């Protein structure tokens, strides 16, 4: 072959990714370039025979090998690392060669891959939306039946819904338009009924049957990210979801800083507008994308931490940060969304789910309801890793909770190339002993950053491959140019510039690693403290639900390897994604779920970790990989010592 | 009626570490020093075996110390430029070990070469037959350059080399392992980091029975209480069965005590503080005897009189 710059197109299936590569390169090189994971234990030395792929079309130059059976050879199997590209190719990556962890994870995280309907069914809440639209066909009045319009409507509602007359309530503006609306479509009307405590309010009345156009919004009001889902309330169907970064970030990374900003600059109104604008942006995106009328959105359920609820509602947050840490309100009555400046139906209701304490908010009570912690027989843990890292331990009889101040590292914030779990975020990372990195991204597009699950993989894999030691320090002696000095700080290049979807490499820096280790240390310390404070040990914990906006997959084993989760069989750990949002969605479509959240909130006992000396000690010893007390992580100790290359000489 | 003694039984014990090798053992030392071995709180021999007595290491510097006050300097004025003779003098003063501190290899303190340093080490090994501690200058780059050469030159002598820190431990661990030396693991008065650095070096295959911990020392009036409680917690952990903490401990009393204002202020500067000639000695002796209670196994010291006070104190307690 002459020296030329011939390039070939390699089309990988089932990923459906096409990559250009110079001739002479191997199929494995092409896969690396395309950021497609191909199993390769030996790292391309033609020894392990793990990188089997199927050549569907095109030609390659491959030496004979005993690593493929006759049967495989007959089916056009080739070894990706041995096959030099000599034409355009179509390569099918068989199941066994794809990312191994992914397959395992699918099983481990069954819960997360359940459909919304399945999750909803499993939770067994009664289907009864907080705000309902009901179509009524009223009997027109006659001389014999001369009941007034309003009472006629009540009777019809009572007949259809079994609602007692004495719990119903009607607004003045509804009364004003009632006679006209009732007669507009020949006594067929749609009433919008909303729960307000024990009262059922007639929120709106429309002529004709519009009962199939009733929508609600569930919002996870996070400190770092705000996520909203649009649901069709009649059918409980999730229509669409959208997320944005909380623009309050400009007032401070964490909410304590924001509270201080609000107080010092008398900026509470400004900050309320900021979060309301974020929510309006989300709603308007969802509404436009799905061609829905804003007036048809009749309810919002919010689940955020206590401080975010204060900001959203414009309640004074000052005492949240000062001893003895008193919120203005944990249980907030339903209010009209418009009162906060949120644009939905002008009479639509906003339900803020209840908090437990200053540092355990509605995101947690909502999450506990979503996983039905209130029905567990055995002690069960819920760990929600958001900006704070809250932990709940309990079962159907008792619940205790605490907040770990873990910081937003696993939400991608404060990490050089961190990002939230969105399209282009690296969610799985694998690093070989030769420091070759392969990763996969959400949406299978060139990477733009790393989300929580990717960051977690990154730490675990760098530890396994010896790029960092147990302190998280880079091992400067390793033979790779991916580890480099940038200014005063070392960083490891995960993805080269030409392979990313941004105009730079994707790296992880020493500061990022320290940040992530502190974050996981804070979480583990909180878990350890709660378990100990109940006089239990890790083996008494039946099941761990790990929640948070990590990504679609979460490698539970890696979370144990880095010491974020206690060392226990991975089968007892379930990754459940954003439970704050899940709980909010459930509450929106089920009054039963809404009540459950209220009950959970009034049941939980809060442990304060601030100034807790024992917590500080636990935290300090958790700032190591996996932990300073190795005997708490026997399986990790075993795993890592089998990987260590002891020094035998200089 | 006879009342039985209540015995506090501990489940763990501090590992024994032997520094120095005799001719039979492949070195040239006249004697070796073994430390550690305790399975009870220091000096509480009615509870168990307190193990080996604390050993005294006396400091020798490869470059003359700049700020030694007169009451200390006068004992070494004639040998300050000659580490071999200095070591001899220390041996005469009753040192169990010599601690050669390589401050002179630091870029700011002379930037001495590997060759010079190796010949210093060799000259001390010839001049005295007690075991040797060799401690770098705490500049990572220079330590990583010089310590491998020094380690090789002293191969077989089973020295105690220092110090491995969380930021820089690979080179010194590797050479200590290869050349059969013991190793000092160093932490900044932090029980967790102390344990972590031990895990890091054992991860590299370094045996735990060749590790001596250094938690950084604070002299009397300069943080001794932090240092004391860290030593105490470490020792309790070791006795409770924590293997990673079950290594003997070294402390640096001489250097810390003699940089205290109380040791350095002359009579005219601090007439109300008592005699300048005695103050530093007292400061050093009290720092040493206090830390001994917390469980230390090697005490680095400077002044011959302080050494003799401390040695007498050890005898009285054991």
Residue carrying the six token digits 């960051």: A455
pLDDT recorded at residue A81: 84
Residue B69's nearest CA partner among B253, B218, B276, B236 is B276
Residue B316: both structure tokens together: 């009285």
Helix, coil or strand: residue A25: coil
> CA of B182, closest CA in chain A: separation in Å?
15
Note the pLDDT of residue A104: 30
Break chain A into its structural domains and give their ranges.
7-98, 131-207, 218-352, 368-408+517-641, 412-510
Stretch A433-462: mean pLDDT, rounded?
92
CATH class of A368-408+517-641: alpha beta
A124 touching chain B per CB within 8 A? no
Asked if A628 and B195 come within 8 Å (Cβ–Cβ), the reply is yes
Tell me, rounded to whole angstroms, the distance of Cα B250 from its chain centroid: 4
Domains and CATH numbers, chain B: 52-317 (3.20.20.20)
Contact A471 B166 (CB under 8 A): yes
Say whether pLDDT at A2 is over 60: no
Q: A566: distance to nearest CA of chain B, Å?
A: 19
Does the structure show a pLDDT above 70 at A96?
A: no
Among the listed residues B233, B142, B151, B141, the one whose alpha carbon sits nearest the alpha carbon of residue B195: B233
Q: Helix and strand tally (H, E) in chain B?
A: 11, 10
pLDDT above 50: residue A110:
no
Comparing A92-101, A485-494, A520-529, B308-317, the range with the smallest average pLDDT is A92-101
Asked if residue A17 has pLDDT above 90, the reply is no
| ipTM of this predicted structure | 0.81
Render pLDDT for A213-255 as a digit per residue (tens, 0 to 9): 999 999 999 988 899 999 999 999 999 999 888 889 888 878 8
d(CA B298, CA B16): 12
Give the Cα separation of A560 and A625 in Å (integer).
Answer: 10
Higher pLDDT, B94 or A610: B94
Q: How far is A647 from chain B (nearest CA, A)?
A: 6
pLDDT of A564 above 90? yes
Give the per-residue pLDDT at A106: 30
Cβ contacts (< 8 Å) between B206 and chain A: which residues? 647
Using one digit for the tens of pLDDT, what is the confidence trace for A329-368?
999 999 999 999 999 999 999 999 999 999 999 999 999 9
- Collect all residues of chain B within an 8 Å Cβ-Cβ radius of residue A628: 192, 195-196, 199
Q: What is the pLDDT of residue A114?
A: 63
Going by DSSP bridges, is the β-strand pair A380-384/A390-394 parallel, antiparallel, or unpaired?
A: antiparallel
pLDDT at A101: 35
Peptide bond into B299 cis (omega under 30): no
Contact between chains at A628 and B192 (C-beta distance less than 8 A)? yes
Please check the confidence at residue A74 and state whether its pLDDT lies above 90.
no
CATH fold, domain A7-98, is Ubiquitin-like (UB roll) (3.10.20)
Query: Which chain B residue has the Cα nearest residue A642?
Result: B203
Residue A123's contacts (CB-CB under 8 Å, 6 or more residues apart) are A369, A370, A372, A586, A593
**Tokens encoding A363:** 């995101």
Contact residues, chain B, for A473 at CB < 8 Å: 166-167
Provide the shortest C-alpha distance from residue B141 to chain A (in Å). Answer: 12
- Cα→Cα distances A190→A136, A153, A179, B115, Å: 6, 10, 14, 96
Q: Is the pLDDT of residue A323 over 90?
A: no
Put simply, the answer to whether B203 touches A477 (Cβ < 8 Å) is no
Distance (Å, whole) CA A86 – CA A23? 6
- Nearest CA to B39 among B49, B30, B54, B29? B49
Measured over the CA atoms of residue A405, residue A410, residue A412 and residue A416, the dihedral's sign is positive
According to DSSP, the residues that pair with A230 across neighbouring strands are A217, A240
Would the CB atoms of B204 and A646 count as touching at under 8 Å? yes
Mean pLDDT over the full length of chain B: 95
Q: Please report residues of A whose CB lies closer than 8 A to that of B192.
A: 620-621, 623-624, 628
pLDDT > 90: what percent of chain A? Answer: 64
Nearest beta carbon to residue A470 from set B148, B177, B196: B196
**Is the pLDDT higher at A32 or at A454?**
A454
d(CA B160, CA B186): 13
Query: Does the pLDDT of residue A111 top 50, yes or no?
Result: no
How close B143 gets to chain A, by Cα (Å)?
15
User: How is residue A230 written in tokens?
Assistant: 């649009």
Count Cβ atoms below 10 Å from residue A466 Cβ, excluding itself: 16
Interatomic CA distance for residues A574 and A570, integer angstroms: 8
Q: Tokens standing for B216?
A: 């950084």
Contact A112, A63 (CB under 8 A): no
B117 burial level (CB within 10 Å; 0-12, 13-18, 19+): buried
Could you give the CA distance from residue B223 to residue B205 in angstroms, rounded to a whole number?
34
Q: Give residue ranges of B with CB < 8 Å to any A CB.
A: 148, 166-167, 170, 173-175, 177-178, 190-192, 195-196, 199-200, 203-206, 242, 244
Asked if B281 and B71 count as a contact pair (C-beta separation under 8 A), the reply is: yes
Q: What is the pLDDT of residue A80?
A: 87
Q: Closest Cα partner for A440 from A551, A574, A581?
A: A551
- Min mean pLDDT across A98-112, B165-179, B286-300 is at A98-112
CB A416 within 8 A of CB A579: no
Among B192, B202, B206, most A C-beta atoms within 10 A, so best to mutate, is: B192
Residue A153 pLDDT more than 60?
Answer: yes
| Average pLDDT score over residue span B13-31 | 96
- The answer for A46, left when phi > 0, alpha when psi is -120 to 50, beta otherwise, is left
Range scoring the smallest mean pLDDT among A43-47, A105-109, B305-309: A105-109
Instruction: Tell me which H or E stretch contains A178.
Output: helix A172-184
CATH topology match: A7-98 vs A218-352: no
> Would the pLDDT of A515 be above 60?
yes
Nearest CA in chain B to A620: B192
Q: Which of A469, A641, A647 sits opposite B177 (nearest CB)?
A: A647
Q: What gap in Å lies between CA A56 and CA B276, rounded to an integer?
A: 91
Whole-model pTM: value is 0.79
Q: What is the mean pLDDT of residues B283-308?
A: 97
Distance, first Cα to last Cα, chain B: 29
Distances (CA, A) of A250 to A254, A283, A318, A342, A483: 10, 22, 19, 21, 32
For residues B49-61, average pLDDT: 96
Contact A546, A574 (CB under 8 A): yes
Please report, for residues A567, B27, B214, B215, B269, the alpha-carbon distance to residue B258 in angstroms, rounded to integers and kept in the order given.
Answer: 48, 33, 19, 19, 16
pLDDT at A40 (0 to 100): 61
Query: Band of the pLDDT at A285, cuts 50, 70, 90?
Result: very high
pLDDT over 90 at A62, yes or no:
no
The hierarchical CATH code for the domain A218-352 is 3.30.420.480
pLDDT of residue A411: 82
| Res. A1: pLDDT tops 50 | no
Percentage above 70 pLDDT, chain A: 93
Q: For A599-618, b where at least 16 C-beta lie within 10 A, e where not — what string?
A: ebbebbebbbbeebeebeeb
Strands A84-85 and A60-61: antiparallel
Q: Does the domain spanning A131-207 belong to CATH 3.10.20.880?
A: yes
Task: Check the CA dihedral B190-B193-B199-B204 and report its sign.
Answer: negative
**Which is it for the CA torsion A194, A196, A198, A201, positive or negative?**
negative
Half-sphere exposure (CA, 13 Å, Cβ side) for A106?
4
- Collapsing DSSP to helix, strand or coil, B133 comes out as strand
Q: How far apart are the first and last CA of chain A?
A: 44
pLDDT of residue A164: 86
Query: Nearest-5° angle of CA A152, CA A156, CA A158?
Result: 115
Tell me the average pLDDT across A117-125.
89
Integer Cα distance of A347 and B230 in angstroms: 64
H/E stretch holding A455: helix A452-465
Closest-CA residue to A399 (of A430, A370, A375): A375
- Under 8 Å between Cβ of A607 and A530: yes
* Chain A positions in Cβ-Cβ contact with residue B167 (cut-off 8 Å): 473
Asked if pLDDT for residue A643 goes beyond 80, the answer is no
Q: Quick one: pLDDT at residue A41?
A: 55
Mean pLDDT of chain A: 89
Compare all CA atoms of chain B with the CA of A622 and give the residue at the minimum distance. Answer: B192
Which tokens belong to B181? 């030396």
Burial level of B265, CB count in 10 A (0-12/13-18/19+)? Answer: middle
Cα A628 to Cα A406, B243, B245: the distances in Å are 18, 12, 11
Q: Please check whether residue A24 is in contact with residue A1, taking contact to mean a CB–CB distance below 8 angstroms.
A: yes
Residue B5: what pLDDT?
Answer: 82
| pLDDT score, position A100 | 40
User: How far apart are alpha carbons A609 and A607 in whole angstroms?
Assistant: 6
- Chain B residue numbers with beta carbons less than 8 Å from the beta carbon of A620 are 190-192
What the block records as the tokens of B100 is: 């050669």
pLDDT tens for residues B95-148? 999 999 999 999 999 999 999 999 999 999 999 999 999 999 999 999 999 999
Which stretch of A71-85, A522-536, B248-262, B285-299 has the lowest confidence by average pLDDT?
Answer: A71-85
More confidently predicted of A610 and A84: A84
pLDDT level of residue A650 (50, 70, 90 thresholds): very low
Query: Which of helix, strand or coil describes residue A231?
Result: strand
């Amino acid at each position: 072959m002459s020296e030329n710059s011939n390039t070939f197109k390699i089309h990988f299936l089932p990923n459906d990714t096409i990559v250009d590569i110079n001739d002479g390169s191997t199929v494995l090189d092409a896969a690396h370039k395309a950021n497609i994971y191909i199993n390769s234990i030996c790292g391309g030395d033609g020894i392990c025979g793990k990188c089997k792929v199927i050549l569907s079309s095109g030609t390659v130059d491959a030496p004979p090998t005993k690593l493929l059976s006759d049967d495989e050879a007959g089916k056009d199997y080739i070894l990706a690392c041995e096959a030099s590209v000599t034409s355009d190719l179509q390569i099918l990556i068989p199941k066994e060669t794809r990312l191994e962890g992914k397959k395992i994870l699918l099983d481990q995280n069954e819960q997360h891959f359940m459909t919304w309907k399945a999750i909803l069914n499993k939770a067994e809440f009664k289907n009864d939306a907080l705000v309902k639209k009901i179509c009524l066909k009223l009997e027109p009045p006659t001389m014999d039946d001369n009941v007034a319009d309003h009472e006629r409507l009540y009777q019809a509602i009572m007949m259809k819904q079994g609602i007692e007359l004495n719990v119903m309530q009607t607004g003045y503006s509804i009364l004003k338009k009632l006679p006209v609306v009732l007669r507009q479509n020949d006594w067929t009307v749609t009433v919008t009924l909303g729960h307000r405590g024990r009262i059922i309010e007639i929120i709106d009345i429309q002529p004709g049957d519009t009962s199939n156009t009733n929508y609600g919004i569930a919002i996870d009001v996070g400190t770092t990210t705000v996520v909203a889902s649009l649901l069709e309330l009649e059918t409980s169907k999730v229509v669409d979801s959208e997320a944005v970064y909380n623009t309050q970030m400009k007032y401070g990374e964490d909410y304590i800083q924001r509270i201080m900003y609000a107080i010092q600059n008398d900026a509470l109104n400004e900050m309320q507008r900021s979060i309301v604008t974020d929510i309006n942006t989300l709603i308007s995106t969802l509404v436009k994308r799905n061609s829905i009328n804003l007036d048809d959105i009749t309810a919002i359920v919010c689940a955020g931490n206590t401080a975010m609820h204060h900001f959203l509602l414009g309640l004074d947050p000052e005492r949240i940060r000062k001893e003895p840490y008193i919120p203005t309100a944990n249980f907030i009555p339903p209010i009209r969304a418009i009162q906060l400046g949120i644009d939905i139906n002008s009479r639509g209701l906003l339900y803020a789910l209840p908090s437990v304490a200053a540092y355990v908010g509605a995101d947690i009570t909502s999450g506990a309801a979503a996983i039905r912690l209130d029905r567990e027989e055995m002690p069960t843990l819920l760990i929600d890793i958001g900006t704070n890292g809250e932990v709940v331990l309990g079962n159907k009889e008792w619940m205790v909770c605490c907040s770990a101040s873990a910081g937003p590292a696993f939400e991608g914030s404060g990490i050089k190339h961190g990002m939230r779990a969105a399209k282009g975020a690296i969610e799985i990372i694998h690093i070989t002993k030769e420091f070759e990195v392969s990763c996969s991204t959400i949406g299978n597009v060139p990477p733009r950053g790393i989300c929580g699950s990717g960051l977690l993989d990154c730490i675990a894999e760098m530890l396994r491959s010896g790029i960092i030691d147990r302190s998280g320090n880079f091992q400067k002696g390793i033979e790779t140019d991916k580890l480099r000095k940038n200014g005063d700080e070392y960083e490891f290049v995960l993805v080269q510039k030409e392979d990313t979807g941004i105009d730079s490499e994707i790296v992880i820096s020493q500061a990022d690693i320290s940040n992530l280790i502190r974050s996981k240390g804070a979480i583990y310390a909180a878990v350890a403290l709660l378990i100990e404070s109940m006089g239990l040990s890790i083996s008494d914990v039946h099941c761990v639900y790990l929640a948070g906006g990590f990504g679609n997959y979460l490698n539970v084993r890696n979370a144990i390897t880095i010491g974020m989760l206690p060392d226990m069989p991975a089968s007892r750990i379930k990754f459940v994604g954003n439970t704050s949002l899940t709980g909010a969605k459930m509450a929106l479509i089920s009054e039963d779920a809404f009540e459950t959240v209220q009950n959970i909130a009034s049941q939980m006992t809060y442990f304060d970790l601030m100034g807790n000396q024992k917590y500080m000690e636990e935290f300090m010893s958790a700032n190591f990989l996996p932990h300073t007390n190795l005997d708490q992580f026997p399986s990790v100790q075993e795993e890592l010592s089998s990987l260590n290359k002891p020094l035998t000489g200089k | 009626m006879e009342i039985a003694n209540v015995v506090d039984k501990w489940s763990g014990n501090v590992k024994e570490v032997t520094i120095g090798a005799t001719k039979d053992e492949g070195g040239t030392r006249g004697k070796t020093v073994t430390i550690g071995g305790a399975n009870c709180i220091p000096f509480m021999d009615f509870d168990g075996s307190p193990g080996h007595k604390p050993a005294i290491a006396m400091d020798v510097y490869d470059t003359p110390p700049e700020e030694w006050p007169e009451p200390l300097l006068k004992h070494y004025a004639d040998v300050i430029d000659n580490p071999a003779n200095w070591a001899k003098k220390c041996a005469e003063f009753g040192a169990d070990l010599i601690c050669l501190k390589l401050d002179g290899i630091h870029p700011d303190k002379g930037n001495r070469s590997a060759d010079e340093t190796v010949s210093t080490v060799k000259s001390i090994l010839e001049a005295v037959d007690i075991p040797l501690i060799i401690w770098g200058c705490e500049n990572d780059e220079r330590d990583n350059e010089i310590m491998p050469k020094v380690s090789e030159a002293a191969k077989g002598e089973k020295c105690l080399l220092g110090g491995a820190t969380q930021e820089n431990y690979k080179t010194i661990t590797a050479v200590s392992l290869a050349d059969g030396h013991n190793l000092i693991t160093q932490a900044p008065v932090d029980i967790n980091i102390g344990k972590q650095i031990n895990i890091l070096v054992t991860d590299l295959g370094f045996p735990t029975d060749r590790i001596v911990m250094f938690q950084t020392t604070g002299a009397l009036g300069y943080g001794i209480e932090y240092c004391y409680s860290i030593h105490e917690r470490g020792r309790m952990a070791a006795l409770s069965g924590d293997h990673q903490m079950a290594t003997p401990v070294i402390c640096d009393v001489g250097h810390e005590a003699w940089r205290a204002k109380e040791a350095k202020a002359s009579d005219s500067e601090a007439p109300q503080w008592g005699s300048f000639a005695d103050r530093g000695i007292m400061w050093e002796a009290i720092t040493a005897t206090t830390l001994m209670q917390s469980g230390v196994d090697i005490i680095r010291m400077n002044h011959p009189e302080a050494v003799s006070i401390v040695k007498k104190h050890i005898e009285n307690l054991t």
